[in-house]
Amino acid sequence: MSRPADNGSPAPELELPANFPGLGDDAATGGPYVDHTELRRVVGRLRTKLDSLRGNAPASMSATYSGPGTIGEVAGMGNVGPQETGQWEVASSFGANTEQAYTVLDPSYGKLLDHVEQWVDAVEKAIANYERFHQDSSA
CA atoms within 13 A on the CB side of 23: 11
Query: What separation in angstroms does the CA of 125 have from each of 22, 35, 55?
Result: 16, 15, 25
Q: For residue 78, is pLDDT > 70?
A: no
For the stretch 47-74, pLDDT in tens is 888 877 777 655 555 555 566 777 777 6
- Pair 28, 109: CB distance under 8 Å: no
Q: Please, what is the average pLDDT of the chain?
A: 78
Look at residue 122 in the predicted model and tell me its pLDDT.
92
pLDDT recorded at residue 125: 93
pLDDT tens digits for 9-62?
776 777 777 788 888 888 888 888 889 999 999 999 998 888 777 776 555 555
DSSP the chain: -PPPTT--PPPPP----TT-TTEEE-TTTSSEEE-HHHHHHHHHHHHHHHHHHH----TTS-TT---TTSHHHHHHHH---HHHH-SSHHHHHHHHHHHHHHHHHHHHHHHHHHHHHHHHHHHHHHHHHHHHHHHHHH-
